[in-house]
């Protein structure tokens, strides 16, 4: 580091200013502009030197062209000159695709294939209005750009679903005014966007449903969703339509309620159809015989009176052998309770219900179904029969399980990811505060992993990470959690410790396991592991702070020579 106060009036005037910028996460440069219009570095902060790997003293007094590719130098000089000519601060973005090679160290930047930097250029003028220096602040906005791209994709996907679905969808604000409606809303309810949006005088809720809708709003305000239930809505022409309605709350980042989103499935034709079926049993049977759905008719207690032939092909049940038996006999044992509850709900409310459940095929295969449960009500307002229409949703369930797995597990190692680890850690902290138990968090990474990646390739690096995960897993207890946090960074949660020795003993086992060499592809080599440990209690704090303390301990372990562990100590570690 050089003394800012010995290098000209600009540095003397802004010494304190530069001391502040020395430790900020953004890259900061001060360059001097000479009489020939060239630029020399006068100050480079820690963030900039960390990125390039070049010490600050090597920058001082050197031209920017010494450290940057010609293409970048040309762009930078153009931007500097533009800021000088306009005598104003200039902000621009630059996408840098790797690898980029410096002219000093021949060092490769291989953090990722590309990065986006936002550069703020501020010219500094003397009393004669001559530009003497340029103050440059460079911020890595790659993550922000990726996030913006993801948000655009999500928005596009949402708009595609929103505008292509056959169901009525709309959003409303806290005053129950329409914020947006989809094409199906316009088509079915006849209202146009320009007629209905933000007009508090317009409602599609009939008077008979007003009280129920107020109760729905109260539930949404508490952040809860409303599952599908049968109601009616009214068109612009005053026609009542039977729909299955579901609602979800719209919450801001702080969890404050900002309105809701509603989805209405028009079931008018279905109800009309079912009414006709009630009148003409034979017509229903003819249609049911050729349906690919599973159709059953039971009495109000769920005793089967009719079963469609499709059961034989789909689940292997002989229709004749199921008659006069409880429908619950043909539901997967773990789902019997919720299926029974769905029947009770229909009997209680006299409304259409639904349930997702599993059935076991005669060959032992488990199949998922979604059933619509429709009560047939007689003239005495009693449920005469119940119609069950079930459709195979096994593929959808498998897809949902796959998505859930991808959301909670690391695709490379198969370990729990950061999201699942944070959730488990928060739960453990809550339990520990009640039971006054002790637990530990460990942060681990491979010593020299970047060198392996750079010299042997990413494929070898990936194999090393997978082998690392397996080797560490062999050293931990069954109730411990090992997770990949990112890159070569892993974390371990050790709940219910009897004493700290258990944690340090595990750390020693893990470090000892790395004495054996690695075989990845055609390579055979040795590498080590460093570990940082933080305990709770004695420290009561947010889970992110505990992780930070374990990370600081990891940094200390690496600083002290790597291939060891360090326990975080407040007042000693930074």
Q: Distance between CA 152 and CA 29 in Å, rounded?
A: 33
Alpha helices in 359-477 (DSSP H): 394-408, 418-435, 449-456, 458-473
Length of the chain: 574
* pLDDT (tens digit per residue) in 260-283: 999 999 888 888 877 776 665 555
Q: Distance between CA 510 and CA 323 in Å, rounded?
A: 62
What are φ and ψ of residue 328, in 5° steps? -65, -20
Tell me the longest C-alpha to C-alpha distance in the chain.
102
| Range scoring the smallest mean pLDDT among 30-39, 287-296, 473-482 | 287-296
Q: Distance between CA 243 and CA 251 in Å, rounded?
A: 25
Reported as a pLDDT band with limits 50, 70 and 90, residue 116 is confident
Q: For residue 290, what pLDDT is reported? A: 47
Rounded mean pLDDT, 381-399 = 86
Instruction: Note the pTM of the prediction, 2 decimals.
Output: 0.39
CA distances from 328 to 313, 345, 394, 457 (A): 20, 15, 20, 57
Q: Which CATH class is domain 4-141?
A: alpha beta
Sequence-ordered list of residues with C-beta below 8 angstroms from that of 550, at least 6 positions apart, any chain: 441, 442, 443, 491, 532, 533, 534, 568
Contact by Cβ (8 Å): 246, 165: no
* pLDDT (tens digit per residue) in 217-242: 999 999 999 998 999 999 999 999 99
Query: What would the CATH number be for the domain defined by 409-567?
Result: 3.30.70.270
Q: Distance between CA 417 and CA 29 in Å, rounded?
A: 37
Taking Cα atoms as reference points, which of 220, 219, 165, 216 lies closest to residue 188?
A: 165
Q: Which of 144-153, 319-328, 422-431 has the highest mean pLDDT?
A: 422-431
Q: Tell me whether the CATH fold assigned to 165-266 matches the one assigned to 271-397.
A: yes
Reported as a pLDDT band with limits 50, 70 and 90, residue 294 is confident
Residues of the chain with pLDDT > 90: what percent? Answer: 37
Q: Where are the domains of the chain?
A: 4-141, 165-266, 271-397, 409-567
Q: Does domain 165-266 have CATH number 3.30.450.20?
A: yes
Q: For residue 573, what pLDDT is reported? A: 64
Q: For residue 338, what pLDDT is reported? A: 92
Reported as a pLDDT band with limits 50, 70 and 90, residue 147 is confident
Sequence-ordered list of residues with C-beta below 8 angstroms from that of 494, at least 6 positions apart, any chain: 439, 440, 441, 442, 476, 477, 480, 502, 503, 506
Q: Which CATH class is domain 271-397?
A: alpha beta
Reported as a pLDDT band with limits 50, 70 and 90, residue 15 is low
């Amino acid at each position: 580091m050089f003394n800012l106060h010995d290098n000209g009036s600009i540095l003397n005037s802004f010494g304190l200013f530069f001391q502040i910028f020395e430790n900020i996460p953004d890259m900061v440069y001060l360059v001097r502009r000479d009489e020939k219009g060239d630029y020399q570095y006068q100050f480079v902060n820690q963030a900039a030197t960390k990125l390039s790997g070049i010490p600050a003293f090597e920058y001082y007094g050197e031209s920017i062209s010494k450290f940057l590719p010609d293409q970048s130098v040309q762009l930078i000089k153009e931007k500097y000159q533009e800021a000088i000519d306009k005598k104003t601060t200039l902000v621009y973005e630059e996408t840098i695709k790797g690898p980029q090679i410096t002219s000093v160290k021949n060092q490769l930047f291989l953090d990722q294939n590309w990065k986006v930097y936002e550069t703020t250029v501020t010219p500094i003028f003397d009393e004669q209005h001559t530009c003497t220096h340029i103050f440059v602040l460079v911020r890595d906005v790659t993550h922000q750009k990726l996030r913006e791209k993801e948000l655009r994709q999500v928005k596009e996907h949402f708009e595609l679903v929103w505008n292509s679905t056959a169901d009525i969808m709309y959003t409303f604000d806290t005053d129950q005014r329409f914020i947006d409606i989809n094409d199906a809303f316009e088509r079915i309810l006849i209202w146009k966007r320009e007629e209905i949006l933000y007009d508090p005088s317009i409602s599609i809720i009939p008077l008979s449903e007003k009280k129920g809708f107020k109760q729905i709003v109260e539930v949404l305000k508490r952040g809860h969703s409303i599952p599908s239930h049968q109601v009616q809505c009214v068109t612009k022409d005053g026609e009542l339509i039977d729909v299955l309605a579901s609602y979800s709350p719209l919450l801001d980042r702080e969890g404050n309620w900002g309105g809701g989103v509603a989805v209405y499935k028009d079931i008018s034709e279905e109800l009309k159809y079912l009414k006709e079926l009630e009148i003409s049993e034979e017509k229903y049977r003819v249609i049911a015989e050729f349906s690919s759905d599973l159709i059953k008719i039971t009495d109000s207690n769920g005793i089967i009176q009719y079963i469609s032939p499709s059961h034989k092909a789909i689940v292997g049940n002989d229709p004749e052998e199921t008659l006069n038996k409880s429908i619950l006999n043909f539901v997967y044992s773990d789902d019997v309770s919720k299926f029974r509850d769905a029947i009770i709900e229909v009997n209680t409310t006299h409304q259409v219900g639904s349930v997702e459940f599993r059935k076991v095929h005669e060959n032992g295969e488990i199949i998922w179904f979604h059933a619509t449960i429709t009560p047939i009500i007689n003239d005495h307002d009693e449920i005469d029969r119940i119609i069950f229409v079930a459709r195979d949703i096994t593929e959808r369930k498998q897809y949902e399980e796959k998505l859930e797995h991808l959301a909670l597990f690391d695709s490379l190692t198969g370990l729990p990811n950061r999201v699942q680890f944070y959730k488990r850690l928060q739960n453990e902290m809550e339990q520990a505060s009640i039971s006054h138990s002790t637990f530990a968090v460990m942060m681990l990474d491979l010593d020299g992993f970047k060198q392996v990646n750079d010299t042997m390739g990413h494929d070898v690096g990936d194999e090393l990470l997978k082998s690392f995960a397996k080797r560490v897993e062999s050293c931990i207890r069954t109730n411990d959690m090992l997770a990949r946090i990112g890159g070569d960074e892993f974390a371990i949660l050790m709940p219910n410790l009897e004493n700290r020795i258990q944690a340090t003993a595990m750390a020693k086992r893990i470090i000892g396991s790395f004495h054996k060499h690695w075989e990845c592809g055609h390579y055979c080599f040795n590498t080590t592991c460093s570990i940082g440990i933080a305990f709770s209690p004695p420290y009561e704090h947010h889970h992110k702070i505990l992780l930070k303390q374990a990370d600081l301990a990891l940094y200390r372990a690496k600083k002290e020579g790597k291939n060891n562990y360090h326990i975080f100590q407040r007042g000693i570690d930074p």
